[in-house]
Amino acid sequence: MNRRHFIQTSALGMAASTLPISVQANATAMTVKHQFKQKYAPHDGMFRHHAGKDILDQLRFMADTGFTAFEDNGMRGRTVEQQKAIGNLLSQLGMTMGVFVAHNIAWNDANLASGDAAKREQFLAEIRESVEVAKRCNAKWMTVVPGALDKRLAVDYQTAHVVEALRQASEILEPHGLVMVLEPLNPYRDHPGLFLSRSPQAYLVCRAVNSPACKILFDIYHQQITEGNLIPNIEKCWEEIAYFQIGDNPGRNEPGTGEINYRNVFSYIYNKGYRGVLGMEHGNAKPDKAGEQAVINAYVAADSF
């Protein structure tokens, strides 16, 4: 599939409408490469109707469209050869690798919060494996979710157990310049019963771990549901935030499909000096190519601050 020959919709059509007719005919047959201010990172499948199922073709399409980063939660599950191929192509395209999930998340088990030594050792073994994954795909950040609450223990004991596990994981990651980012997940819609749900809680844990290898992944979608008050909470956590993820609410789709004023949020983050990755961890509100173009248009609009 030649990615440079597909018909653009609204954004290109508006730009082309001011050109002579002969120029318009050529313009509508080319991919528009947008100049985004930030490193917005699509994921596998987000543009499959334009680029096909092959992840390398999708990366090329992302780069052709102007996206300068990529994230892949499931990178650990890919073959070694595919991890290396993705890392090599990202380097060639000048794109930044975003997060992948560093371990098997214990959605229904009090994993790190329990203080169980065997569970902690399993987690640390997976962190060691993820160091090698990160090397292959040129990643710096990896997502960590401490698992479920232990309902038999006071929260303070659980916090101490989580901090100890993360200190040991930090000792593994620090020599390689890698960073695990802790993701608080909303307990009301998607993930009830998990240990980590609030941004101030993640801030407390990171301050206690006290390592450059342990920071916060501030998922704007999750925190809008859990606590709202987005910009003030980002401000309070700023020193510990190393990564952002995106999704509007309700619906968990692209900016502009819900209640969050993403143009203002992006402007605030940019003006604070953040130049890292913002992962597009959401769905497409509409299907097929039109839905994919709507995602691109949404980021053009939200990035126009």
CATH code of the domain containing 240: 3.20.20.150
pLDDT higher than threshold 60 for residue 3: no
At residue 30 the predicted structure's pLDDT band, cuts being 50, 70 and 90, is low
Tell me whether residue 188 is exposed, middle or buried, using C-beta atoms within 10 angstroms of its C-beta: 0 to 12, 13 to 18, 19 or more.
exposed
Poorest-confidence range of 24-28, 262-266, 279-283, 297-301?
24-28
3-state secondary structure of 202: helix
Residue 281 near residue 245, CB atoms below 8 Å:
yes
Whether residue 44 lies inside any domain: the answer is yes
pLDDT higher than threshold 70 for residue 213: yes
Across residues 28-48, what is the average pLDDT?
Answer: 89
Whether residue 12 lies inside any domain: the answer is no
Residues 6+ away with beta carbon under 8 Å from 112: 106, 119, 120, 123, 146, 147, 161, 162, 165, 166, 195
Residue 72 near residue 277, CB atoms below 8 Å:
no
3-state secondary structure of 33: coil
Whether residue 292 lies inside any domain: the answer is yes
pLDDT at 42: 99
Q: At what angle do helices 199-209 and 155-173 cross, to 10 degrees?
A: 60
- Domains contained in the chain, number: 1
Across residues 111-127, what is the average pLDDT?
Answer: 98
Whether residue 226 lies inside any domain: the answer is yes
pLDDT higher than threshold 70 for residue 54: yes
Q: What is the pLDDT of residues 122-181, one digit of tens each?
A: 999 999 999 999 999 999 999 999 999 999 999 999 999 999 999 999 999 999 999 999
Range of the domain at 263: 33-302
* Residue 260 to residue 97: CA distance in whole angstroms: 26
Whether residue 20 lies inside any domain: the answer is no
**Cα distances (angstroms) measured from residue 295 to each of 29, 33, 146, 254:** 19, 14, 31, 6
Residue 133 near residue 75, CB atoms below 8 Å:
yes
**Cα distances (angstroms) measured from residue 111 to each of 72, 106, 116, 157, 219:** 23, 6, 7, 13, 22
Tell me whether residue 108 is exposed, middle or buried, using C-beta atoms within 10 angstroms of its C-beta: 0 to 12, 13 to 18, 19 or more.
exposed
Distance, first Cα to last Cα, the chain: 34
